[in-house]
A and B are shown apart, each in its own frame.
Chain A
Amino acid sequence: MLSILIWLPVLAGLAIACLPEAIMTPTRSRQVAMAIALVILGWTGYLLTQFDVQSAGLQFQESFDWIAPLGLSYRLGMDGLSLPLIAINSLLVYIALYCSDVNLIRPRLYYSLMMLLAAGVAGAFLAQNLLLFFLFYEVELIPLYLMIAIWGGSRRGYAATKFLIYTAISGALILAAFFGLALLSGSFSFDYEQLQNLELPMTTQLILLVTIVVGFGIKVPIVPLHTWLPDAHVQAPTPTSVLLAGVLLKLGTYGLLRFGLQLLPDAWRVIAPALAILAVVNVLYGSFVAIAQTDMKKMVAYSSVGHMGYVMLAAAAATPLSIAATIAQMISHGLISALLFLLVGVVYSKTGTRNVDVLQGLLNPERGLPLIGSLMIVSVMASAGIPGMIGFIAEFLVYRSSFPIFPVATLLCMLGTALTAVYFLNLINRSFFGRLPETFANLPAIYWKDRIPALIVVALVIAFGLQPGWIIRWSEPTSLALGTLGDRSTTTAFVEANPLTLPLSAPALVD
């Protein structure tokens, strides 16, 4: 069942790339890619209906030996951690395809790379063999690099190379850690299940975990390993930015949870305070730098850096509720950042600039971008954690679950919410309010196809904000399992004292 999520887009990508142009015209390649993405989205919906929300273990497992001497087996599985991320990947891939420019150059390459990217990300989220995960993790690097390098902005070469170098180092570190784990397992196995209960000295665990944290930290990104991200976002075309912010950054936090916390829980709890400090740095640094930006996309990119800090904070706390918060924040950030990039993309495509010093009055009812502006205000509110939207739910969960473990770090992170309001309201005020200047008084027409992707995401942002149980319920048992791993001495007191965390049943959120 799960292989469909990987191999269907791979086959489609191959068909788009290899079939003769007479058969696979640019238009048809787009149609095929979108049709496959729709099938994948539908299949994900089907998996949601079949998923047992009461089970913490892996479901829909598929397994066969691939290259046994290397310890590489084709093993897939899905749990409450990977399911929401698979769902958001399927959704955002379809949206990214939908909002891709119909007149772009080299369309067949573009759509085949898009399919490969979708497959790579899905594979990484589903892989239950460390080497298999690494393969998929590296596979998604290629299309992303090419998308920035070919369809990016004026400094695309620089941004793509920087992205490649950073991500390659990330991959190397992750591979090194995986090899370490496999070697120390005694059986040189990369099988995830076998590596779960390793008895390793704490020093060894710490070395492995720090390697993993740095490796995945580049992807998250954790400050100061973040510098590739703003460049990549600014130069990447809108659909790539949507996927990059919405899904690909989540590979970093997913990796931290899956291979850091879940494989090395004791070491995780040792370095958790440091992770919390890094989270604070991410939040405050990202927010303050965002305030200083004049490029909308860079502002959203630094906002991403800040908001991924919330994910880090909750992950560091590692209680059942905080793991649920981590997943919720990943979904929240995935949707909201994708929405923001979609909207910034429309503004850029219609005005030719993203500079908030130049833009003004875009809410003008007839000559501006009124609906896009309204959606931007909604997305900004969601990002700033205004109640009624998913941003509030996720951030509230993060704060509620992290505060008992890291009170100071949590309070400092809360500043980030206020700072989010500062830089995004600044963006809104400068770009959308006031009189539309003559230079923008004759913007091209806005069509519904420009608005529909953002409208869909806004609907989800509000729906999940009003009914958070729709995102929490999938990962409840998994969160419970992840949050109770290892030495719980640091969290036991809190967990026992607080019925919200064990079992994870916040009625107002889940019901």
Chain B
Amino acid sequence: MTTLTPSTPVPTALSAIAERLENGGALLPDSPENLVEVVGVLKSYAVVLDAYSINLNYIAEHQFLVLFPFFKYMNGDVTAGKLMRHWLHQRINYEFAEYCMKAMFWHGGGGLDAYLDTEEFRTRATAAIQAKLKGNLMMRGINQLFPQFLLEQIRQLSFYSGLGQFWRVMSDMFMVLSDRYDAGDITSIADVVDHIKQGLVDNAAMPITYAVTIEGDRYEIIPATAGLTFLMDTAVPYVEAVFLRSFPFFGTVSYNAQAQQIPPEQADFSYGVLFADPLPTGGAGIPPTLLMQDLTHYLPDYLRAVYAGGLRGNGDLRVKINQSFQKSMFCVTTSAILGLMPHPLTTSQPQEQQANREFIDSWLARLEPSALLRVQTPQS
């Protein structure tokens, strides 16, 4: 008796996800529990992103070349009471926003990163540096000795601004999502994905610009004429840098690059939020607990009630938020994948369907080591 061996691998959980995507579903399975978690956590995230965005833009515009920005998290409102609350940690963890900015800055990619290496940027940034250093002999001398130093600072500030503008849009988008959910418009995970995808598409061409005012004069570091736009120059690099790659740093585990404990290429890093461990003990990547702590303050009551019903009540709130947040980020990633598909999902052309499938498969292969498979089943 002859046994037939299939020429293709036996369908796995990944192929089921691929089929779900092709049929208009999402990376995250649709369920009432997932919907409550995703929308609820995104509502809280909207509030936090609003604060992050305001602070990132404030730093970019008002802490321009301030080399010791002691009060950068104060948004210009430095009072004894606010400082005390800051030191008592009754505050937003703006450090998280900066980690994300640094992830983008480090990994680069997209038009923003490319623009910062152009001659136009150098000319514009140099003009701003000259204006800023006017009358500051010491800094002028240092600038002469290390001409790349302040330029690099401005590149970083450009990413502050770029991420601030990106999150401004995302914050509003998630807040509207929450309002629509409250109004009964959002009833499934697919609705969430559609809302986000539509928001990304609507804002895709929104220009990304950056200007500072020095002594009353306006200096455009990134003019509108640079042609940088929301989707391809901030959203896509953000997903790549923060969702997928991130850093092998910040954990309590000491990685040894020479022992091949981290990939030699940055492009192969997988320490992003989609890969984050909801029970963080020594993992790499941006510390998720900072964001989770911020999210605890603004959870909607319905989600808070869901969390309180767990075995440990509010004792493991940050872990639960982390799990929900990861689910929500799989929805955002789904929107990005669908938005970047080579052909419409509704195509009936076999070649186009094949191209779409290959595109989806490549994404799923990349996401296989992430939390993707874990979120396919209800988590405890």
Contact = CB atoms under 8 A, between A and B. Distances in A.
A366 B278 CA distance: 10
A147 B196 CA distance: 62
Contacts of A445: 311-313, 315
Given A366-B316, A366-B319, A435 B282 contact: yes
A135 to B, nearest CB: 49
A442 interface: yes
Contacts of A436: 279, 281
B182 to A, nearest CB: 29
B318 interface: yes
Interface string B257-287: 0000000000000000000010101100000
Interface residues of B, number: 13
A361 interface: yes
Contacts of A441: 279, 380
A369 to B, nearest CB: 11
Contacts of B282: 435
Output the residue of B279, B313, B316, B380 with the most chain A CB within 10 A: B279
A367 interface: yes
A446 B311 CA distance: 10
A444 B279 contact: no
Contact of A435 (B281, B311, B317, B318): B281
| Secondary structure call for the A interface | loop
A429 interface: no
Given A441-B380, A442-B380, A367 B313 contact: no
B320 to A, nearest CB: 9
Interface in B307-364: 311-313, 315-319
Nearest to A360: B281
B377 to A, nearest CB: 11
A434 interface: yes
B19 to A, nearest CB: 27
A361 B281 contact: yes
Contacts of B317: 366
B312 A364 contact: no
A444 B277 contact: no
B315 A366 contact: yes
A364 B380 contact: no
Contacts of B312: 366-367, 442-446
Given A443-B311, A443-B312, A444-B311, A367 B319 contact: yes
Nearest to A437: B279
Contacts of A361: 279, 281
A446 B281 CA distance: 20
A441 B380 CA distance: 8
Nearest to A446: B315
Interface in B52-69: none
Given A366-B279, A366-B319, 7 more contacts: A361-B281, A367-B316, A367-B319, A435-B281, A444-B312, A445-B311, A445-B312
Interface of B: 277, 279, 281-282, 311-313, 315-319, 380
The 9 A-B pairs with the shortest beta carbon distances in the complex, nearest first, are A442-B380, A366-B316, A445-B312, A366-B319, A436-B279, A367-B316, A435-B281, A445-B315, A367-B319
